[in-house]
Each structure stands twice: as C-alpha cells, then as structure tokens.
Amino acid sequence: MELRAEEVLNLAARVLSEERFKHTLGVADCAEEMARHHGLDPLKARCAGLAHDLAKEIPIKDQLSLARRWDLLHYPEDEQYPAVLHGPLAAYWLEHYYKVDDSEVLAAIASHTLGRPGMSPLEMLIYSADLTEPRRDFPEVDILRQSLYDDLGKGTLDCVERTLRYLRQRNKPIHPLTQLTYEDLQRRQNVGTGSKNA
Ligand SMILES: [Fe+2]
Ligand SMILES: [Fe+2]
C-alpha cells in the first residue's frame, strides 16, 4: 500500500507532542520543497517527512524491546544509544502494520537518524531536511541550506560532517553507521568531481 500524505499527517498528529508535530511539518515542507527543486517526487518526500519521527516518542525502554523483537539491532551501539532506533522502528511499523510497501519511502524513514552508505536521493533529502527544516536554528544552518540547494549530495555530506563535528566537540559517541555514511558520501563526491583520491 502506498503511504498517503493525509493519513500519515493524521497519524503524526495523533502520536506526537505539539512540538514534535511542528518539527515534523517543518521537515515535510522542507523535504517537499527540496524534492521539487532537485527533480524528485515531492509527494514521497512529504510522506517520508511526515512519517520520519512517528516512533520518536515511544518510551526508550519500549523502543529497545520492540527493536529486539523486530530484529532491528545490528550494532552494539544500537543498544547503548537507543535514541537512534526510532527511524528503523517507524519504517518497520509502517511496513508491517500499515502495509506500506514503498521501499524508497521506508528506507528514507529508516535512515534519517544515522544515514547509511549508499543513500538514495530521497534518503539524503529526509536526513538533511531533519537537520535544516525552518525551525532549526544553529550558526551554520544557512550555509547547510544553501549547500543543499546547490547540490543535494554535497549538502548532505556537509550535514553529516556537521553532525560528526557536533558530536566530537561534545564528546558524544559516534555511531559507526554515521561514520560510514560520511566516508561513502565523501567518496561519491570525489568520484563526481573526478578526484584522484576517489
Ligand atoms: Fe528523528
Ligand atoms: Fe526529526
């Protein structure tokens, strides 16, 4: 079944707090606009944006037990820092309980927390919209928005780089998937520009 924007909007309004719902609308608007600009499917972008944080407010203890039950734990860090699980959980939930079968949209929801090597343009879009939606306010956000407008791949690389920098500065753990995502995006940029380091 295809995910319909109206349905997922109602679902988000039901399960999310007011603040998170506003963030969700910001991500959906931002993703839709970026999709139009970069020639991607705006409706898929909107649906993935609306759905990306559906599992975020499930108590962490329950997120962990669901992830265990649904076999979504792939790294020791997933259990150590379970806040990263809400993307895969939402995707699994929509696929198995709402019979959503759009693998592109499901992947974009699943990978929005950590990224993954080999991200599709829609995955990049949701990952980046989550960080740069209009309500986000941090010093480099406008530079990231411009970079995403100019080039989705380079802009996403800049977003991942910013996240890594932010985590390092605060001595926070870095999940291996985010590091792998960074290396993958960097390699893809180098290939695109014909660098000898590719
Ligand atoms: Fe999230
Ligand atoms: Fe989010």
CATH numbers and ranges of domains, the chain = 5-193 (1.10.3210.10)
CA distances to 52, 67, 79, 80, 161 from 62, in Å:
18, 8, 12, 14, 31
- pTM > 0.85: yes or no: yes
Q: How far apart are CA 88 and CA 85, in angstroms?
A: 6
d(CA 57, CA 42): 26
pLDDT in tens, the chain (198 residues): 777 788 889 999 999 999 999 999 999 999 999 999 999 999 999 999 999 999 999 999 999 999 999 999 999 999 999 999 999 999 999 999 988 999 999 999 999 999 999 999 999 999 999 999 999 999 999 999 999 999 999 999 999 999 999 999 999 999 999 999 999 999 999 887 655 443
* Span from the CA of 189 to the centroid of ligand 1 (angstroms): 25
Q: Which among 51, 38, 181 has a CA at the least distance from the CA of 106?
A: 51
What backbone torsions phi and psi does residue 195 show, to the nearest 5 degrees?
-65, 145
Q: For ligand 2, a single-atom ion, which residues have Cβ within 5 Å?
A: 53, 130
In one letter, which amino acid is 8?
Answer: V
- In angstroms, what is the span from residue 194 Cα to ligand 2's centroid? 34
Which residues keep their CB under 5 angstroms from ion ligand 1?
A: 53
Cα–Cα distance measured from residue 15 to residue 170, given in angstroms and rounded to the nearest whole number? 31
